[in-house]
Amino acid sequence: MNRKKQIIWSAVAALLLVGVAYSTGLRPPDEPTRSVLAAKRAVRAGQVLAQEDFIAVKLPVKFVIDEYVTDPDVVIGAVTDRELSPGQLIDNRWLNTRPDGVAYPDGRTDGRLYTLRLQAEQANGFWLAAGNRVDVHLIPRGEPLEDLPDILPNVRVLAMIGLDQPSSQNGALSGAPAPLAGGTALVCLDVNTAQARVLARAEPCCVIKLVPINEPEDRPTRQPFTDGRRKAVDELVASQA
């Protein structure tokens, strides 16, 4: 009985030594290895991965599975769908070039979408459309919150949701938009993380008013017709008639 126990414990000790040898890099010199990528630091789920988020580690080829990522270009710019711990090998099934579900337009670094429910009087009578830029005014209902700005300037409207938009002629609305029901509509704003945090703090305690930016576009100044230019144009038109 004691002999059997000694054999078992010897086998366990041998397995432990093999494990320690591999963990410390003591492997047969002729054993082939392959570089795979692992998280260099803690990574949040949904985070866009950058070069500084991962490192290359060498594993014996027999331990490398097809799902392990070996090409840095696959990781850079991708989004992970789960948290990664430092040293965790990266599985290509966890990476996406875009989140599942709705593919939002004009994605960018630190881009966030913030949706507000607004009454018509808080959104210029809903004279808004995707692509408009607005100043977002935050008007406290009582004591203002500390460090809360009173305006977020030049924010782009990404979408208006729940509006019956009028037809347009030459880019101009032919009538006032109207909510489909209930007198309110949703507006989706293209903001960054800091602006989204401000809006989240402001919603419970502020009236939020959108003020459309109505400034002329930068266009070259059209030169007025002089008598000489008008005559030249008239002659050119007449020659082609």
Lowest mean pLDDT among 7-11, 39-43, 103-107, 161-165: 7-11
Task: Phi first, then psi: give them for residue 227, nearest 5 degrees.
Answer: -60, -40
Structure confidence by residue, pLDDT tens digits, 94-143: 887 765 555 566 667 788 889 998 887 887 777 788 888 999 999 998 88
- Per the document, the length of the chain is 241
Beta strands in the chain (DSSP E): 33-39, 54-60, 79-80, 95-96, 111-119, 133-140, 151-161, 163-164, 168-169, 172-173, 178-179, 184-192, 206-212
Which residues, 6 or more positions from 141, have their beta carbon under 8 angstroms from its beta carbon? 205, 206, 207
The reported pTM is 0.46
Q: How far, in whole angstroms, is CA 71 from its chain's centroid?
A: 23
Residue with the bigger pLDDT between 66 and 163: it is 66
Which residues, 6 or more positions from 65, have their beta carbon under 8 angstroms from its beta carbon? none
Which residues, 6 or more positions from 25, have their beta carbon under 8 angstroms from its beta carbon? none
Structure tokens at 208: 């939020």
C-alpha to C-alpha distance for 51 and 40, rounded to whole angstroms: 10
- The three-state secondary structure class of 200 is helix
Residue with the bigger pLDDT between 18 and 8: it is 8
Q: How far, in whole angstroms, is CA 108 from its chain's centroid?
A: 5
pLDDT at 25: 53
pLDDT at 196: 94
C-alpha to C-alpha distance for 38 and 56, rounded to whole angstroms: 6
Which residues, 6 or more positions from 212, have their beta carbon under 8 angstroms from its beta carbon? 124, 127, 128, 132, 133, 134
Structure confidence by residue, pLDDT tens digits, 48-76: 888 999 999 988 888 888 889 999 988 88
- The three-state secondary structure class of 30 is coil
